[in-house]
Structures are given as structure tokens and as C-alpha cells.
Amino acid sequence: MRDIGIGIIGTGFMGKAHAFAYRAVAGIFPDSPRPVLQTVADIDGAAAQKAAAQFGFRRWQTDWRAVVEDPGIEIVSITTPTLAHREMALAAIAAGKHVHCEKPIAPDAGTAREMMEAAETAGVVTQVGYNYIKNPILKLARSMVEAGELGDITGFRGIHAEDYMADAEAPHGWRLDPAGGGGAIADIGSHIIGLARFLLGPITEVNADLQTMVASRPAAPGASERRAVEVDDIARLTVRFARGCGGTIEANWVATGRKMQLAFELTGSRGSLVFTQERLNELLHYRADGDPQRNGFARIEAGPQHPPYGLFCVAPGHQLGFNDLKTIEVAEFLAAIAGGEKNGPDFREAWEIQKVVDAAIDSSRARAWRRIE
């Protein structure tokens, strides 16, 4: 397969995850285009230089526009704070680049729609970093729902809980800037909303309660001055799906002790499924028609029988990890660029997720149900 030039904007957690995935994908997916790490950009020159040396980029820059304007780059990966996404993505799209952007792609649904329409008009391929749904075991869960193995779906309980904002002395930062959108509802709530849509389809109505648990935080690390927090720490949603069932969704970034509880319980008339990202290689399945004396949740363990697990490891039980899911995300993105199936989530799906986020914020303020058009 041909080489394809990659430019990454941002060198933080997600910038490194993107670089790792692009480096790994050609060796794991033999039919994939071969990514060539051309340029990494970061406003912090030392960070950009370090990332270039660590991951093997040919160049580093402090101006992100150098990535967009480089004719040798076909894919622009955007891993910056949310407020910067629009300008960077629209510039990349105008330059004819395919765009890989972290989530949420925008602070509000209107901006997300603008980005989506620009990409679709230009005919470029987009990918948004909802990599958790690339888990082979979750693709199995969706196929079980679609095949009717659970019968009529009766309910969904989903949560994404972590504790990275649980310390009240953690400093104020871009995640707490209301200009960038919501707080926990946008940052991690978008993941569980996206997962709910992945499994069950569109959400049509929401009734939400958003709470700010930490009223103010240090303006900077070690500062005595404090800034008011104007976004949510916990969001609790009651939702209705287009398919007819209801459910609940929680986003919580002050959940003490939780590091990665992206989890759901999905119930149906013939059985149920249970999953948590804390044990991401397992899916629990209950069959309602089993022997009542012996019946219970059966553990389905990920293995080579769940593609593309086998491309990473030929042995069951040896397990995939976070960066492997990111590599699958990149592989599917590259396949779409090469003319294959478009699995997304693309900018259109990110817009749909953002509409739910916006409706939840509005619902909480109005103390009323909101319909998602």
C-alpha cells in the first residue's frame, strides 16, 4: 500500500496516542496505507522537538498552520483543546486534508454542524476520537443487539466516571472554560452518549440534572487566587431512544477512586449485557431462557475470534489495551481514505453526539425535557 503523510497538532496525552497509533498501524494491519510521520506542531517548541525525536517525525513546528499548508501531509490530526478545533479543522478541510480530530469536536452543536458541512462539501474523510467503541467486544455487543439476541430492549444504564477533577485544589484549566462547552457532560459524557448511540441508535429526548460540586479552583498551579467554576462536575441524564426504550446516563469527573469507569448495563426481554472499560476485554451476557438453577451472567472473553483482536495477538486472554483501540481507530480511518468502508465516528456523528450534550445542558437550566431534532 502507498505511503500517506501525517501531521499532528498537539503533543499532550492524545497527541502521543495518535502518534503511537500511526506508528503501529502498518505493522499490525498489513493492507493499510503506510503512515509517514511528517510534522508535529505544538505551541511549546521544546515539547514539539521532544515528540519529533520520540516518535520519528521528520519535522517539528510551533505554528500549526505549517502542518495544514504542507503539501506532503494528507491527514491532519487535531489533539488540542476543544476551542481550537474549529479553526484548525476548517483550515485543513479547505486545504483538502482528511481530518482526524479529538472529541468533542466543538463547544456546541452549531459549530460542530459547520465543521461537518464543510467536510462533507469538500469530500474529505473525517474521524473523531471516540476510540472506545472500536473495542471488538463492543462490536460483538452491538451485533447481538442487532440480531435480536436480547429480544426487545427494555433499558440502558450507562456511566462514564473518573476522578481526575476530584481534588478541589486541582487548578482551573481549559476543561473548565465555559466558552469551550460543558464540563463533565462534554468531556467524558460525550463518550458514554456516543456508546449509547453506537449500541441502540439515536437518542430523541433528554431530561438532565447538571451539578457543579467544586465551586472554585486555583487560577493556576499553586496560586492563592481562585476562579469560579461555571461548568458541571456531574451530569445525570434520563433519555429516550428512537427505538422506543428509555435509559439513564451519568458523566462524573469527581468520582473518587474511579479511573476509567466507562460502563453500561443493557437489558432486554431475552437477556442482558454488562460491560466496563475497567475490564475492557470482557462482556457479561445473561440469557433469560437458561436453567433457573444454573443460570447467571456468562463471561465472554475477547480473543482472536473477535476481529481484529487476532492481528494484535494470536492468543485469547492476553488482552487489548487503550492504545490498541486507538490503532484500530486509525486503521479504519485509513481504510476509509483508501476507498473502503467508512466506519466513523465522523464529523456527522460527532455533531449528533453534541446535539445531545447541548440538549442536556439546556434541559438542566430549564428543569424540563428537551427533544433532540
Output DSSP code: residue 172: P
> What SS3 state is found at 101?
strand
Give the mean pLDDT of the chain.
Answer: 97
Q: What are phi and psi of 207, to 5 degrees?
A: -130, 115
Antiparallel, parallel or unpaired: β 246-252 and 370-371 = unpaired
Burial label for 101, CB within 10 Å (0-12, 13-18, 19+), is: buried
Output DSSP code: residue 301: E
Q: How confident is the model at residue 292, as a pLDDT?
A: 86
Domain boundaries, position 340: 134-371
Q: Which residues lie closer than 8 Å to 167 by C-beta, 6 or more apart? A: none
Question: Which of 80, 109, 131 finishes a domain?
Answer: 131
Which DSSP helix (H) or strand (E) runs through 205? strand 203-211
- 42 and 31 within one domain: yes
Asked if 209 and 184 touch (Cβ cutoff 8 Å), the reply is no
Question: Which of 131, 160, 184 finishes a domain?
Answer: 131
* Cα-Cα end-to-end distance for the chain: 42
- 228 and 149 within one domain: yes
Q: What is the DSSP string of 71-93?
A: TT--EEEE-S-GGGHHHHHHHHH
Match 486545504 to its residue by C-alpha cell: 95
- 195 and 60 within one domain: no
> What SS3 state is found at 59?
strand
**308 prior amide bond cis, ω within 30:** yes
- 85 and 167 within one domain: no
Cα-only R_g, the chain: 21
Q: Which residues lie closer than 8 Å to 355 by C-beta, 6 or more apart? A: 109, 372, 373
The tens place of each residue's pLDDT in the chain, 373 residues long, gives: 799 999 999 999 999 999 999 999 999 999 999 999 999 999 999 999 999 999 999 999 999 999 999 999 999 999 999 999 999 999 999 999 999 999 999 999 999 999 999 999 999 999 999 999 999 999 999 999 999 999 999 999 999 999 999 999 999 999 999 999 999 999 999 999 999 999 999 999 999 999 999 999 999 999 999 999 999 999 999 999 999 999 999 999 999 999 999 999 999 999 999 999 999 999 999 999 988 888 999 999 999 999 999 999 999 999 999 999 999 999 999 999 999 999 999 999 999 999 999 999 999 999 999 999 8
Q: Which residue from 145, 141, 326 is spatially nearest to 241, judged by alpha carbons?
A: 145
- 168 and 205 within one domain: yes
Please state the domain count of the chain.
2
- 183 and 60 within one domain: no
pLDDT digits (tens, 9 = 90+) for 38-81: 999 999 999 999 999 999 999 999 999 999 999 999 999 999 99
| Per-residue cell: 243 | 427505538
- 365 and 232 within one domain: yes
Degrees to nearest 5, angle at CA 282 with 245 and 247: 15
**Residues 351, 329: Cα–Cα separation, whole Å:** 18
Question: Which of 80, 105, 131 finishes a domain?
Answer: 131
CA 161 to chain centre: 14
Q: How confident is the model at residue 294, as a pLDDT?
A: 86
- 161 and 249 within one domain: yes
| Strand residues in 253-297 grouped as ranges (E) | 261-268, 271-276, 282-287
Instruction: Please tell me the pTM assigned to this model.
Output: 0.96
- 275 and 342 within one domain: yes
- 163 and 15 within one domain: no
* CATH number, domain containing residue 59: 3.40.50.720
- 328 and 208 within one domain: yes
- 264 and 118 within one domain: no
* CATH number, domain containing residue 315: 3.30.360.10
pLDDT digits (tens, 9 = 90+) for 271-285: 999 999 999 999 999
Q: How confident is the model at residue 293, as a pLDDT?
A: 86
